[in-house]
Structure 1
Amino acid sequence: MTRSTSVVVQRLCSAVSPGARSQRFTRFLACATLLTFSIIGGQSHADTQNTFRISAIPDEAPTELIRKFEPLADYLSQVLEMPVSFVPVTDYAAAVEALVSEQIDMAWLGGFTYVQAAQRSDGKVEPIVQRAEDERFQSVFITQTDSAIQSIADLKGVSFSFGSPSSTSGHLMPRHYLSSEGIDVDNDLSIAFSGAHDATAFSVAGGRVAAGALNIKVWEKLVEEGKVDTDKLRVFYTTPEYHDYNWTIRPALSSDIRGKLIDAFIALDPENESDRIILDLQRATRFVPTEASFYDGIKRAAIAAELLGSN
């Protein structure tokens, strides 16, 4: 079955004014609401019924996201017996808003963006599967090889890059572990947000910041592909393990489609060549079922960091 791929190019929302972190997230989501409907709100009712739409938080470059998800979309279109369209969004908040407002059917979310989506939907969105690797995920902190930074304690007073403000592995959990090591993130560091994990690595490599934190899987991929030079960049801290990414479905998705999706992900077999291509692109050895309670620790960390509102 032929799959139609949507390629959407939109400008980013304008900068958000300073204020409490929870207030900034509210503004991000409000902006994303307008953006999301401008991206996919114009599709017809028939399109909604006949196409299964997936999206993903933009934690890597848009071209890389499309490359990663095209084979998966082809596979799911065969399982669901309908076209599967990948709908890129411009930021993490837009992915959350699109899922909660049911403008897309399923989204690849980080642990924190899942927590945000669950809060905004009153618990109606549902995480269904995660990679086996996401049960024990980590972030890495990097700096230039000749830097004097050897530990978290050496970060006081330096410039530091996170990824997206809504990133689990590129912001929330690194922030959490920095705080647990006695760093007052907002006062001890000069913070920048790169917007994506690979962008953080390139910012450190280019000397725009002294250090940064990113997803360990993206770091390993950048090293493997030769996109970062380990003679010039090094890891100086690796966080403890935590649950992270998952595939989350929109509220009220039919139980039939839900069941087919779970079975399809779990059935991916690395011994099968076509399945292995999908798994390798997703940086997964296999997919396993997941559940909302696995992300309670991330929710507690977000509340403690004042990154999650009360509503």
Structure 2
Amino acid sequence: MPHTTRRRSLFSLLAGALLAWGSAAQAQQVLRVTTIPEEAATEQVRKFTPLAQYLEKQLGVKVEFTPVSDYPAAVEALVNKKVDLVWFGGFTHVQAQLRSGGKIVPIAQREEDTQFRSVFIAKTDSGIKSLADMKGKQVSFGSQSSTSGHLMPRSNLLAAGINPEKDFRRIAYSGAHDATIASVVSGKVDAAALDITVWRKFVAENRVDTKAVDVFFTTPPFFNYNWSVHADMPADLRQRITKALLDLSPATPEGAEILRLNRATRYIPTQAENYKGLEAAGRSAGLL
């Protein structure tokens, strides 16, 4: 075989091997997804598994959803690129931005997240009817890193002239919104603050008796949750994930189910500037 022919043959074999390797690598690509544990791990899996299956079909890659133990773990996972896509609360997004030196990109949020609220709840026979009535009481927040379960409730308390560390008899951190509700129902604490959408879900599913425990204060609106990726993710993949989220429609059975589980009417684009107010609130509250 002539030298030139042998060289072409070798080149063809090498090109074929590289192509096969590239196809195999692509086939083995895994999109790793997690969320802040705003509710129990079993509930997180129930809520987000259908979305993971949808993304798998839309992107043509394997999608793995893995719950994490606490809010800081979700932050560290994306900052250190242990996962590719995270459902953050507004404040955990801010924490991840600061930890990463501005390398976190929010790509989509629920329409509800543009006007989000926290609620304060107490037993209806507790005598607690206002924020001022919480003085001297035992109070629970959610995770210390929660936007709607801690940061914004604390900001509203401070604005009302109430210092939780000085004015409450005891402060507890439940770790998750469902646990927060349970702490009031069981009488472990007198009052608590949490995500309004989790509260509404519990009420709609008859998992809490509003004659016994109910809302006595609702905060003004703020920006909250989003899906975020690391800035080092290839732009094409980021765009395809964003499109898949924005394309979810309540008009299809699959879209309607995913949106229902995610407590969303639809997903819309978002941007880092939306969360600057939460960063300012975090600094004012001494949490950053």
Taking structure 2 as the reference length, the TM-score comes to 0.90
SS of match in other structure, 2:128: coil
Give the RMSD, CA atoms, in angstroms: 1.2
Please point out which of 293, 299, 309 is paired with 2:273. 293
C-alpha offsets along residues 82-129 of structure 1, whole Å, 9 cap, x if unaligned?
110001110000000000000000100000000000001111110000
Alignment of 1:65-214 (within 5 A): 65-189=44-168, 190-214=170-194
In the alignment, which residue of structure 2 is the partner of 1:6? none
In the alignment, which residue of structure 2 is the partner of 1:270? 250
**How far has the Cα of 1:251 moved from its partner?**
2.9
In the alignment, which residue of structure 2 is the partner of 1:240? 220
C-alpha offsets along residues 13-39 of structure 1, whole Å, 9 cap, x if unaligned?
xxxxxxxxxxxxxxxxxxxxxxxxxxx
Q: Number of paired residues?
A: 263
C-alpha offsets along residues 31-67 of structure 1, whole Å, 9 cap, x if unaligned?
xxxxxxxxxxxxxxx7996110000000101100000
Residues 1:50 and 2:24 aligned together? no
In the alignment, which residue of structure 2 is the partner of 1:14? none
Residues 255 and 181 (structure 1), Cα distance of their counterparts in 2 relative to 1, 3 Å cut: same
SS of match in other structure, 2:69: coil
C-alpha offsets along residues 159-200 of structure 1, whole Å, 9 cap, x if unaligned?
000000000000000000010011011110121000100100
Taking structure 1 as the reference length, the TM-score comes to 0.83
- Contact 2:28 / 2:61 at 8 angstroms: preserved in 1? no
Asked which structure has the greater CA Rg, the reply is 2
Name the aligned partner's letter for residue 156 of structure 1.
K
Residues 1:306 and 2:283 aligned together? no
Residues 1:215 and 2:212 aligned together? no
- Contact 1:140 / 1:237 at 8 angstroms: preserved in 2? yes
Residues 1:225 and 2:200 aligned together? no
SS of match in other structure, 1:248: strand
Name the aligned partner's letter for residue 254 of structure 1.
P
Q: Percent identity, aligned pairs only? A: 52
